[in-house]
Amino acid sequence: MEQGVWKCMAYQDCFGSDILMLTDPKALQHICQKSGYEYPKDNRLNEITRLSAGDGLVAAIGHAHIRQRNVMTPSFSTTRLRDYVSLFQRTASKVADKWKTEFFAESDGPVTIPVNHWLPRATLDIIGEAVCSYSFGTLDNENTELADAYANIFADSLLIPSRIDVLFKATWKYFPMRLLHFVEYLPTREYRRFRGSLKIMKRIGGQIIDEKIKEDTPRKRKDIVDVMIDANTSFNPKQQVSRDELTDQMATLMLAGHETTATSLNYILWELAKRPEYQAKIREEIDTLRNNLTRRGESEYTIEDLESMKYTVAVVKETMRLHPILYHTTREAARDDIIPLSEPIKSRTGELIKNISISKGQLVLLSFWGYNRVPAVWGEDADTWNPKRFLDSDVTRNTNVGLYANLLTFSAGVRGCIGWRFAVLEILSFLVELLEHFKFNIPPEKLEIMRVPAGAIMTPFIRDNMHLGPMMPLQVIPIQNEYA
């Protein structure tokens, strides 16, 4: 394609096969929503997913995906999410208390804190308790076996693949899935790390599930696995998931549910650290929230309280738009298809075309990062951080693609993230607790933060200091307030 780079383009893989990259809203809607399971994950992506998270929901295809999603959906209902909000608030408050004790016990002066070292520990504690009432204890430095298995797993395993590894993975599309399953036994760092963490998760997760199945007394407050077990028994045997599949759901949620959320929080705090005036606006909403709680005689906020904080919500949406953690995914056409476009583009021959014809087996790259920056959808300032776009205009007016705020950050359609609202409420809870007690600034050293793809995660690093690993240092100053 000669023009319309923001909408679609073709490039070649290591062996000269064409890959179609799409950011066009109508094309993405067609693939993600209208076509359903007609665009499954390709072999390479599916095997990487299976290596890291087992045969859970993210790796499942076709009928297995439908069956597993049906069992998992009740765990993320509004009723269940209400129980999790208190967990979010309690854990975020614990981070604030830890910072006060560790960094500000003797001085109120500014301190540079590597927030990326703290937030994943907090979100891992949350996901452990929410999924299966498991105590990781990472905020208390307990260093459990399972916590060690999941710490920085993407950055440690998939940061800079070698040329040989890139070439090797490009061959995976030519192999049947059964043969690809043997890849996990290769002795490289990546496969050893994934194999080891998944083995630990299956062992500990299996023990937890066995204990839960044996329990006679129902729990007053159920975790996600409890709800899955209950939902599973309500289906006929052909629609139920096995014990091993339940264990794989735990592995999937542990992997997908903590580092992604923590990294989004890193970027939100980073953007806010550059703009004190935006922090002040959020604190105004926090004051309103606290006053409302006082009038009600309550100490814990609700889903409705969090989602009513319009400015804070707009900041979350805008950061997720500009810094999507999952920056792209790939799909393979299961049949010949015609992909519609929102606007005509010029082909290699100079012809204006309104759709693209593809053949069965065509690999398609869905660029979430690209779509989230399309000027036709988000405005001419799509490359800049501007939360006002979610306050002043209806950004879903022309398109309806993503799960949340028209974004593709959580993907879309039948393969969309089942826990997207869980993640958003968790992030909002952390912003309330942290911005109520601290101001955030860019450190005086003015370190340049780079966004580096580490496997599936767009991870922050300091330029020229990648050997230090993922880093998001921010200057933090405590705030004295009546609620502290």
Which residue numbers belong to the known binding site for heme? 417
Q: DSSP assignment of 250-269, as one string?
A: HHHHHHHTTHHHHHHHHHHH
Which three-class secondary structure state does DSSP give residue 335? coil
Which three-class secondary structure state does DSSP give residue 241? coil
Binding residues: 417
Of 89, 100, 117, 90, the C-alpha closest to 474 is 117
Q: DSSP assignment of 24-64, as one string?
A: -HHHHHIIIIISGGGSPPPHHHHHHHHHHH-SSTTT--HHH
For 129, the token pair is 């308790």
For residues 290 and 285, give the distance between their C-alpha atoms in angstroms, rounded to a whole number.
9
Dihedral angle computed from the Cα positions of residues 314, 318, 323 and 324, in that order, rounded to the nearest 10 degrees? 70
Instruction: Tell me the backbone φ, ψ of residue 367, rounded to 5 degrees.
Output: -90, 100
Which three-class secondary structure state does DSSP give residue 19? strand
Of 96, 55, 191, 12, the C-alpha closest to 478 is 96
**Strand order in 328-332's β-sheet?**
8-12, 18-22, 363-367, 328-332
Cβ contact 4:353 at 8 Å: no
The gap from C-alpha 59 to its chain's centroid, in whole angstroms, comes to 15
